[in-house]
Amino acid sequence: LSTPQKHQRGNTMRSVSVDLNHDASLLIDIPDALCERDKVKFTVHTKTTLSSFQKPDFSVPRQHEDFIWLHDTLVETEDYAGLIIPPAPPKPDFESPREKMHKLGEGEATMTKEEYTKMKQELEAEYLAVFKKTVQVHEVFLQRLSSHPNLSKDRNFQIFLEYDQDLTVRRKNAKEMFGGFFKNMVKSADEVLISGIKEVDDFFEQEKTFLLDYYSKIKDSTAKAEKMTRSHKNIADDYIHISATLNSLSADDTTILFVSVQKVEGRVASDQELKLTELLRYYMRDIQAAKDLLYRRARALVDYENSNKALDKARLKSKDIPQAEEHQQQCLQKFDKLSESGKKELTSFKGRRVVAFRKNLIEMAELEIKHAKVSSTIQLTHFYTNEKWTL
Amino acid sequence: MADTARDPPPQHTDFHELEDGEDLFPEPTATLESEPASLPAEDISTNSNGPKQDSLFDDDPEDLFAEATEEVSLDSPERDVLLSDGPSPAITPITPPTSVLTPRIGLHDDMFTHSSFDEIEEEEGGDSFDIHISVSDPEKVGDGMNAYMAYKVTTKTSISLFKSHEFSVKRRFSDFLGLHSKLASKYLHIGYIVPPAPEKSIVGMTKVKVGKEDQSSNEFVEKRRSALERYLMRTVKLPVLLKDPDVLQFLESSELPRAVSTQALSSAGLLRMVNKAAEAVNKMTIKMNESDAWFEEKQQHFENLDVQLRKLHASMESLVLHRKELSVNTAQFAKSAAMLGNSEDHTALSRALSQLAEVEEKIDQLHQDQANADFYLFSELLGDYVRLITAVKGVFDHRMKTWQKWQDTQMLLQKKREAEAKLQFNNKPDKLQQAKDEIKELEGKVEQGEREFEQISKTIRKEVSRFEKERVKDFKTIIIKYLESLVQTQQQLIKYWDAFLPEAKAIS
C-alpha cells in the first residue's frame, strides 16, 4: 500500500470524543499497527511524568483481546461500580472488504484490466479505512481511561500499558477468577430491572427514562446511517465500471469526469461514515455503558431493599440483628456512593456527548459542502470545455 | 478464514492520523480535484456562475488540460468512437484536448478519408430538420384485459410533405409496432437502418390493464411514452422513411387500420428473426471476399460497440438501482434522525438533529431526481442504442445475403453456360434455344444481383455515416444534459448543507 506515514501527535482531535489526551502527565496513543490476516497488533505508546511508571516513555505490543481483558477487569471491579466504564472497542472486522475482494477475484475475467485495478484500489482503500477506524477506536478507549481521574490510576491499566510480556497468561487467569459472571448478568436483565425499581431521585428518574429511550433511537439511527453509507459506496463502485467502459470506448474528458464523480462519491461515503455513522455507533455503545451504570445502581438499590427486609426479619426473630444492621449499612453506603458518583458521571457524559455531536455535525456539513463544490467545479469545467468543442 | 489465494492485506502500515477533512485517499500526483480544492472555498460560493467561473478557468485551464493530456495519452483506444465526429478536414480543431488526441494510423486514416467522402455526398438529411414529434397524454381506453393505452401523437413541422403545420392523432402501442413492421419489411433488406420499436412488456401492460394505479405502473407508462417518442423522432430522421406513405399515414390520418399479427412482427420478434438469419448466414460459412476493407472494419467496430454499450447499459442500470436504494435509505435515516432529535434532551442538540433530519429528507428527494435523470437520460438511451446496433448488424447481414444471392445466380449462370456448350456440342437445336433463353434471363438476373449488391453497399455506407453522426450527437447531447443534472444536484446539496451549518454551530 502507501508508504508508511509519520503519525502526527499533539493535536489529537479524536473524531468521536473530545478533550482527551491533553493532560501531559499521562499521554497515550497508538502510533502504528500491524495487520496479519485477521490479527491486528497495536503498538501502545505511553509518555508519562508519573512516578508510578517505571519509565517516562515506552511502547508495548497489544492485541484486541488484551483490550477486552482490560475492559472486563474494570467492569468487574467493585470500586468502579459508580463509574461509566468506557465501552470496549469492537473487534476488528475486515469481513466486508475481504468478501468484496473475494468477489472481485472471481469476477476478474469479466472486466478490463483497468477496471479491475481500479476496483482493487478502492477495496484496498476500504481495507485501509477499516484498519484506521479500528486503531482509532482502540486508541480512544485508552485515552478515555487516561483522562479519567479514577480509572487512570487503575493497577490493571498500568499493567496493560507497561507490562512488556505477553498478557495472554494474565488474561486466562482473570477469566478463571471472574468467569464473566457479572457481565452476563448485566447483559440479560438490565432493562427490566432498571425500569422496575421505584425511583426516589428525580435526577435518576429522568436519566433512566432518557437513556432507555435514547438508546433504542440511536441504535436505529446507527443502522440506518450504515445503510446510507453502503449505498454511497455502491454508487461509487458503479461509477468505476461506467468510467472504465467509457474509457474503452473513447478516452477523453468524459471519462475523467466520471472518474472524478466516482472519487467524490467515494469520499462522501467515507466521510459520512467517519463523521456520522461512527459517531452514532460510538455513542450507542457509550449509552450502553451509561445504562450499565444505572443497572449497577439499581442492583445496589435492590440489595439495600433486601437488606432492609432482612433486618426487619431479624428484628422480628430477634436473631442476628447486629449482622443484619451491619449489612444494611453497607448496602446503604454502597448505594449512596454509587448514586453520588453516578450523578457526576452522567452529567459529564451528557456534556461530552453534546460537544462530540456538535463537532462531528459541523465537520460533516463542511465536508459535504467541500465535496459538492469540488464536484460541481469539475463538472462545470467539463461543461465549459464541451461547449467550446461545439463552437 | 483461509483465503490464501487472495492478496494479503496490508502487512504493515504506519498509522497516519488524519486531520479532519484531509484527503483520505491521497493521490500520488497533482490531480484534478486538488486544483479546485486549493482555491479558497469562498470563491465558489453561492454567487452566480458567470464571472467567478471565468476567473476559475483563467487560473487553471492549462492544468486541467494537462491532466487530460496525461490521461488521454496513456492509452490508445479508438478515440473518437463515442463522442467525436469522424474527424474530417471540415471540422476545425480548436481546443487543446482535440489536438492532443493522436489518431491511429492505418485503419483510422481509412475512416477519415471515407467519412469525409461521405460527408460531401450527404446532402439530404441536413442539420435543420424541421419536424418535431411528441407523444403525450396517455389515456386508458376500455376495461379489463381488452383495455389499452392510447397516446396522443403531435407533429409540428414546416416540411411541405405534410398537409398542415401542426396536427395530432391518437395511437396505441400496437399501431407503432405495425408501423415498424411495415418499414422493416420495406427497407431493412436494402440497407436502411430502420429504428427498432420499443419492446413489448406483458407484465407491464397487464398491471396497467388490471387498473393498478400505483407508482410502478405509472413509471411503466411514462417509460413507454418516452420510448415511443424517441422511436418516432429517430424514424423521421431517416429521409427515406420520412417520405414513406406509411409514416405519413401514421402521423396524419385520424383512423388507422388495426395492425394485425403484431405478435409475430414485433420489433423484438423481427430482430430475433434477423439474428437467426445472421446465425444461419454465419453457419453457411460465407467466404465473402470482402474487397472493401471499410465493411470489414465497420463490422468489427459495431461488434465492439455492441459489447461495450451492453456493458455500459448494465452498469447504468445498476447505478439507477443503487441511487434509488440510496434515496430510500436516506429517507429512512431522516425519519430515524427526527426520532432521535425528539428523544434528545439537550435543547440545541435536539433542534440540530431535527434539522439534520429535514436536510436528509430534502437530499432524499434530490437522490430521487438524480435517479430519474440517470435513468431517462442515460440508461434508456443506452438501451435504445443496444437495440439500434442489432439493427445495424442486421443490415450488414442483409448485404451478405444479397452478395450470396448474386453469387448463387452467377454460379447458376455458369452451370447453364456449361450446359449450353454441351448442348451445342451434342447439336440439340430446340433445347439449345431454351438454354440460350435461360442464359439471357440469368445474365439479366446476375446484372441485377450485382446492382442490388452495389446499391445496398452504397446505402449502408451512407446509413452508417448518418447513424454514427446521429449517435455522436445523441451521446454528446445526453452527456451534457446529464452533466447539467449533476451540477444542479451538487449546487442544491451545497445550499442545504450551508443552511444546516449554523444550526450545528449553534449547539452549545
Q: Would you call B312 and A4 a contact, using CB atoms and an 8 Å cutoff?
A: no
Give the residue on B whose Cα is nearest the Cα of A231: B326
Whether A221 sits inside 8 A of B337 (CB atoms) is yes
Task: Please answer yes or no on whether A231 and B505 come within 8 Å at the CB atom.
Answer: no
Q: What is the pLDDT of residue B21?
A: 39
pLDDT at position B30 is: 34
Tell if the CB–CB gap between B349 and A357 is shorter than 8 Å: yes
What pLDDT score was predicted for residue B178? Answer: 92
What pLDDT is attached to residue B369? Answer: 85
pLDDT confidence of residue B352:
93
Predicted complex ipTM: 0.85
A250-267: average pLDDT:
67
List the grid coordinates of B214.
Answer: 400505483
Mind giving me the DSSP string for A166-220?
Answer: -SHHHHHHHHHHHTTHHHHHHHHHHHHHHHHSPP--HHHHHHHHHHHHHHHHHHH
Q: Is the pLDDT of residue A69 over 90?
A: yes
Alpha-carbon distances of B432 from B242, B415, B426, rounded to whole Å: 50, 14, 10
Place of cell 452467377: B410
Query: Residue B256: what pLDDT?
Result: 79
pLDDT of residue B274: 66
**Which chain A residue has its CA at the smallest distance from B7's CA?**
A101
Spans of chain B, pLDDT less than 70:
1-129, 211-212, 259-289
Q: For the sheet containing B12-14, what is the strand order?
A: A57-63, A39-48, A26-36, B12-14
Q: Which residue has the higher pLDDT, B315 or A24?
A: B315
pLDDT in tens, A91-106: 998 888 888 888 888 8
Facing residue for A235 by CB, picked from B1, B326, B346:
B326
Distance in angstroms (rounded) separating the CA atoms of residues B84 and B75: 17
Contacts of B217 (CB under 8 A, 6+ apart): B204, B207, B208
pLDDT in tens, A117-157: 888 888 888 888 888 889 989 999 999 999 899 999 999 99
pLDDT, position B388: 94
The share of chain B scoring above pLDDT 90, in percent, equals 32
Say yes or no: B477 contacts chain A, CB-CB below 8 A: no
**CB of A141 within 8 A of CB of A89?**
yes
Q: What is the pLDDT of residue A290?
A: 94
| Dihedral sign for Cα atoms in the order A304, A306, A312, A318 | negative
Chain B nearest-CA distance from A339, in A, is 21
B35: nearest Cα among A273, B43, B250:
B43
pLDDT on residue B134: 94
CA distance A250 to chain B (A): 5
A220/B491 CB distance under 8 A: no
Give chain B positions within 8 Å (CB) of A246. 82, 312
Contacts of B494 in chain A (CB under 8 A): 369, 372-373, 376
Q: What mean pLDDT, rounded, does chain B reach?
A: 73
B135-141 contact pairs (CB < 8 A, 24+): B135/B225, B135/B226, B135/B228, B135/B229, B135/B232, B136/B225, B138/B221, B138/B224, B138/B225, B140/B208, B140/B211, B141/B172
The torsion of the CA quartet A218, A224, A225, A231, rounded to 10 degrees, works out to 170
- Chain B CB contacts of A220 under 8 Å are 336, 339-340
- pLDDT score at A44: 94
**CB-CB under 8 Å, B14 with A7:** yes
* Closest Cα in chain A, distance from residue B411 (Å): 42
CB–CB contact B26 A2 (8 Å): yes
Residue B31, pLDDT score: 34
Residues B133 and B232: beta-carbon distance below 8 Å: yes
Q: Specify the range with the lowest mean pLDDT, choosing from A156-165, A308-317, A370-379, B234-243.
A: A370-379
**With an 8 Å Cβ cutoff, are B12 and A135 in contact?**
no
Amino acid B333: pLDDT: 94
CA A233 centroid distance within chain:
22
Is the per-residue pLDDT at A5 higher than 90? no
pLDDT of residue B280: 62
pLDDT in tens, A193-234: 766 777 778 899 899 889 999 999 999 999 999 999 889 888
Residue A61 cell numbers, joined:
505490543
Burial of A179 (0-12, 13-18, 19+ CB in 10 A): exposed
pLDDT at B461 (0 to 100): 93
More confident residue, A391 or A39: A39
Q: Flag if A224 and B352 touch (Cβ within 8 Å).
A: no
Please answer whether residues B446 and B410 qualify as being in contact, where contact means their C-beta atoms are separated by less than 8 angstroms: yes
B501 contact residues in A (CB cutoff 8 A): 362, 365-366, 369
Q: How far apart are CA B152 and CA B171, in angstroms?
A: 6
